[in-house]
Structure 1
Amino acid sequence: MSKRNKMPGLRLKNGIWHIEKRSQYAPGGWLRESTGVSGRTEAEQKLIRRLAEIQEEAKQQAAAVYTFEAAALRYLEDIAQSSSAETIAIHLDQLFVYIGALPLEQVHDGTLKPFVDERLRLGKAPKSINNAIGTASAVLNRAARVWRNEQGLPWLKQAPPKLSRLSLKGCQKRPYPLSWEEQDRLFSRLPRHLADAAMFAVNTGCREQEVCQLRWAWEVKLDDLSTFAFVLPESITKTSTERVVVLNTVAKAVVDSRRGIHEDFVFTYRGNPVGKLRTSAWIRAWTKAGLPTDSTILKGVHNLRHTFGRRLRGAAVPLETRKALLGHASGDITTHYSAAELGELLDAAEKVTDRGRAQSPTLTVIKRQKEESVGKLPEMRGKVSGC
């Protein structure tokens, strides 16, 4: 009778068999645990089962499938402190409908096409669509190059695909600075909460989210000038630097009219901060005011910022002062301005309230050209608006 060969990897300790066996699938390369049995044959059977189990577990983990949604949520955790996190979250929320449930390996131009087609159908700007595609690309790159699972394998095991962007050539919409008459027609058709916010924007040059997120806590008294200003934190400005916003008499009157309505936010609607200004109410008012609906014209709130800038220029405000008022200056905050410098900014901002002086250069040239030759009006307007 031949002697049975004993399976290596078992050691008897205090009457119980323990597994001590090398395995490339076990953490650290060793499988060490008790079988809980005293019989050698039963212990060998348990060892065989455990080796098969950890091998299968390793294979499943190596073949782990991560969806785009799971990766996107991980990405949001990574960038939570970024000033652009909120905007990125909006892009991802739009993408989830189309590619959220797909494995990362299946995200490419083909699977993104329904998203792109639908956004174009809704009239969204190519730049906005490209920003969303860029966000998807950032998620894929991080999944392939940064994140690793417990086995040290990347979330995306292949090189991330290059996602195609839309061509912006000929797609950029032209800004439309408002005349005083157009401003009156538009604002008179807006509900109060939007009209107040729009009046503030056109007198300060603030961007949409700078207006929507404006807080009373950011108000700063300027004792030497007997007025006040707002200092916007770097978390909401496009340049990621603090920005001082001085108020002319019109903007100041708007802010004063909002006092006591909400404890934290200046511009609110039904007890909540205004989320955005370009709502259906804004679009209806724009159309009813008889403003251009041409697809090449920018119809959004950003026109108010262009209007403010053009009126500053029309009032002969120097370039450096215009840049400071529009938040293009690099890192200056209230404490870096002398009283004289703040006074200069206030004087410049006040000039845009003078309807006879603060005319948009674009509109002035158009009017003059129309008087000279009505037939050449479209050509002239296109040239001036693009400058």
Structure 2
Amino acid sequence: MSLFKRSSSPNWYYKLYPPGGGQALQGSTGTQHKAKAQEFHDRLKADLWDQAKLGHKPRYTWNDAVVRYVADREGLSSLETSKTHLRWLDQHLSGVQLVDIDRNRIDAIGHIKRMEPRVVQTRKGPKKLGRNVSAGTVNRVIGVLKAVLNAAVEWEWIDRAPKTKKTKVVSRRIRWLTPPEAGRLLTELPTHLADMAQFSLETGLRRANVTGLLWSQVDIVRRVAWIHPDQAKARKAITVPLSDTAIAVLLRQRGKKRKPEYVESVFVYHGKPVYQTVTAAWTKALKRASIRDFRWHDLRHTWASWHVQRGTPLQVLKELGGWETLEMVQRYAHLSADHLAQWVQPMMAPAIPQLAAI
């Protein structure tokens, strides 16, 4: 039987033998409707005949491209995030041929994602919030989709990738905490999360660099840590000077018990590395500390904001934070007006006597 179903999925599956013999091809048609599955099967069968008899290029599916895309990027720090988006995209593109992924289909997928409720992880499982995912999230998901298609163009699997417009993202203010607010948050967090949050506030490291930090990346004597190029978002090594507070946090981690396979991990909880930081404990701590609209990544914004407010030059901050361009650091520039003060001296003597005395 060339079309069949499996108990693990509602979709129809196909099994085809290339003309002239060879290994059977099988996979999901990506649809629950038998008529559409039959159409998919017949078109694939015709493609196989064209390839064997007429020398046409093979027609690859989304699944084929994802497998190669992931294999090509194994070891990159951003791959885990991409995998999360790829798993979501699979429900919409599994079994679909790359040549059939056009702008209309991509726009439709973006609309579906935009209408989804935002979800956070809690101890009891995923919890839906009362608002839809952000435009930025939609852009990141579609960005991964297009990255796969662009890679397929490089592999000469398709001739071109469709062009789409990004969902407009409204620039929002940089969210950062004052030192008293940060102190309240650290007091309310469980010890393991408080240490990680404090280390983030002292170093400005991204969450993945904190959760994945190894002792081989730390030199307490020299008071420095480092992030390797393949772990950094900008693909450049980052040297991380360690303050007294950061050193104290690291020293507290030394005495913690670890499972044998995790002895190199710096931050652990019950012997295992801590990968999920936005948990129910994080949400409840924010509530108790009376802090709203604050994400874990905002700890990095807070670190950068504090640096700018105390006068750290933007070029120095760029190096400390591992940003690729100075433009990415400019968003914090408005928090310091020292470089503008010389240009706002009185343009003329006050005309009102009372003002002259102020």
Q: Is TM (by shorter chain) over 0.5?
A: yes
Do the aligned partners of 1:133 and 1:163 also contact (CA within 8 Å) in 2?
no
Per-residue Cα deviation, 1:72-100 (whole angstroms, up to 9, x for no partner): 11111222254433332222122123323
Alignment of 1:214-293 (within 5 A): 214-220=213-219, 222=221, 227-261=222-256, 262=258, 263-293=263-293
Offset at 1:291?
A: 1.4
The one-letter code matched in structure 2 to 1:132 is V
Task: Give the distance between the partners of 1:208 and 1:142, measured in 2 at CA.
Answer: 28
Offset at 1:250?
A: 1.0
Do the aligned partners of 2:60 and 2:97 also contact (CA within 8 Å) in 1?
yes
Do the aligned partners of 2:114 and 2:134 also contact (CA within 8 Å) in 1?
no
Match for 2:144 among 121, 135, 155? 135
5+ residue gaps, structure 1, are 1-24, 27-53, 148-153, 294-298, 331-360, 365-387
Alignment of 1:88-127 (within 5 A): 88-107=82-101, 108=105, 109-118=107-116, 123-127=132-136
| Structure 2 residue aligned with 1:14 | none
Do the aligned partners of 2:114 and 2:133 also contact (CA within 8 Å) in 1?
no
Offset at 1:65?
A: 5.5
| Structure 2 residue aligned with 1:17 | none
| Structure 2 residue aligned with 1:165 | 166
Identical aligned residues as a percent: 29
| Structure 1 residue aligned with 2:309 | 314
- Please, what TM-score do these two structures have when normalized by structure 2? 0.64
Do the aligned partners of 1:98 and 1:114 also contact (CA within 8 Å) in 2?
no
Larger CA Rg, structure 1 vs 2: 1
Offset at 1:259?
A: 0.6
TM-align CA RMSD: 3.5
Offset at 1:186?
A: 1.5
Offset at 1:251?
A: 0.9
Match for 1:324 among 279, 295, 319? 319
Alignment of 1:1-387 (within 5 A): 58=52, 66-107=60-101, 108=105, 109-118=107-116, 123-147=132-156, 154=157, 156=158, 159-168=160-169, 170=170, 172-220=171-219, 222=221, 227-261=222-256, 262=258, 263-293=263-293, 299-328=294-323
- Give the direction of change, closer, same or farther, for the CA distance of 1:207–1:113 in structure 2 (3 Å limit): same
Task: Give the distance between the partners of 1:329 and 1:79, measured in 2 at CA.
Answer: 20
The one-letter code matched in structure 2 to 1:271 is G
The one-letter code matched in structure 1 to 2:163 is K
SS of structure 2 residue aligned to 1:235: helix
Do the aligned partners of 1:215 and 1:265 also contact (CA within 8 Å) in 2?
yes
| Structure 2 residue aligned with 1:19 | none
The one-letter code matched in structure 1 to 2:266 is V
Offset at 1:307?
A: 1.8
Question: What is the number of equivalent residue pairs in this alignment?
Answer: 267
Do the aligned partners of 1:119 and 1:129 also contact (CA within 8 Å) in 2?
no
Task: Give the distance between the partners of 1:119 and 1:160, measured in 2 at CA.
Answer: 29
- Give the direction of change, closer, same or farther, for the CA distance of 1:202–1:241 in structure 2 (3 Å limit): same
Offset at 1:253?
A: 0.6
Do the aligned partners of 2:114 and 2:135 also contact (CA within 8 Å) in 1?
no
5+ residue gaps, structure 2, are 1-18, 21-47, 119-129, 326-333, 338-358
Task: Give the distance between the partners of 1:61 and 1:287, measured in 2 at CA.
Answer: 64
Task: Give the distance between the partners of 2:69 and 2:264, measured in 1 at CA.
Answer: 30
